[in-house]
Amino acid sequence: MRCMESVCSNIIDYLSSVGFKKWSRAYSRRRRYRMMTSNCAESVNSVFKDLRELPVATMLCSIGDVLQKWFYERSKVASTMKSHLTSLTENILHLEHEKSRRLLVDPISKIECQVTDGNQQFIVKLNVECCSW
């Protein structure tokens, strides 16, 4: 947080107001790796939980089968992608691009711009990547 605050002084208030789950992976409510967990090890453990009851050789074979299936599914999806971004990210960028088309941007100087969105006006400082709210 201190690092972010050094870039933009009012960032801590803003991030606190939107809530940690919106920007912190640790507090995210999204499903990651098809499991509702907070890290990769927990995801893998939850998938292989039932396999622990099997004999070691059978368990290792089953783990190999699951991993093979995952890699195949992901490579199949990746081969049909038109860019390096996921479809979710592409959709988000498309929506944000559409929203940005209604913004009016007037340069103030080489490093500052005034951005108007309807009745709201903001000053964007490009050198510190900060915007007035």
Token pair listed for 131? 């915007």
Confirm if 5 and 11 have CB atoms less than 8 A apart.
yes
d(CA 93, CA 83): 12
If you average pLDDT over every residue of the chain, what do you get?
A: 82
Q: What is the pLDDT of residues 63-99, one digit of tens each?
A: 999 999 999 998 998 888 888 888 888 899 999 999 8
How confident is the model over 1-23, as pLDDT tens digits? 666 667 777 777 777 787 766 66
By CB atoms closer than 10 A (0-12, 13-18, 19+), residue 69 is exposed
Domain boundaries, the chain: 1-30
pLDDT surpasses 60 at 60 = yes
Q: What DSSP designation does 9 have? A: T
Q: What's the pLDDT score for residue 64?
A: 92
The Cα–Cα gap between 54 and 69 comes to 19
